[in-house]
Amino acid sequence: DAGVIQSPRHEVTEMGQEVTLRCKPISGHNSLFWYRQTMMRGLELLIYFNNNVPIDDSGMPEDRFSAKMPNASFSTLKIQPSEPRDSAVYFCASSFPKTLNTEAFFGQGTRLTVV
């Protein structure tokens, strides 16, 4: 399996522009997570889906952020309009709970820079 695939790997955009980050989870995994990594806050959960349904989006910082999972093999995280403080590395992860507890598998991340 190719693992969790994220695109793009790097994104540089101007303040005010719309940004869309993409994620393809591991085939067969039914949970998908979006995390953001910053120096100040470390790895923080933004939103997660079970069986394509958003379960908890309380980590989404503002209404400028939105996420969708139209099917089991694709998810997007959109920021509109983007701001310089959104600059961070965004990770997508997926998991399949074979047992009660299981690890999550991460993609390589998208480094977002908003100038």
Partner 1 sequence: DQQVKQNSPSLSVQEGRISILNCDYTNSMFDYFLWYKKYPAEGPTFLISISSIKDKNEDGRFTVFLNKSAKHLSLHIVPSQPGDSAVYFCAASYSGNTPLVFGKGTRLSVIA
Minimum distance between the CB of residue 54 and partner 1, rounded to whole angstroms?
A: 12
Minimum distance between the CB of residue 98 and partner 1, rounded to whole angstroms?
A: 10
Query: In angstroms, rounded to a whole number, what is the distance separating the alpha carbons of residues 26 and 32?
Result: 9
Please, which residue, 45 or 72, has the CB nearer to partner 1? Answer: 45
DSSP state of 84: G
CA distances from 59 to 5, 44, 97 (A): 22, 8, 22
Please, which residue, 19 or 35, has the CB nearer to partner 1? Answer: 35
Query: In angstroms, rounded to a whole number, what is the distance separating the alpha carbons of residues 26 and 2?
Result: 7
Task: Summarize as ranges the residues that interact with partner 1 (CB under 8 A).
Answer: 4, 31, 33, 35, 41-45, 48, 56, 91, 93, 95, 97, 100-109
Minimum distance between the CB of residue 3 and partner 1, rounded to whole angstroms?
A: 9
Please, which residue, 76 or 81, has the CB nearer to partner 1? Answer: 76
Contact at 8 Å (CB) between 111 and 13? no
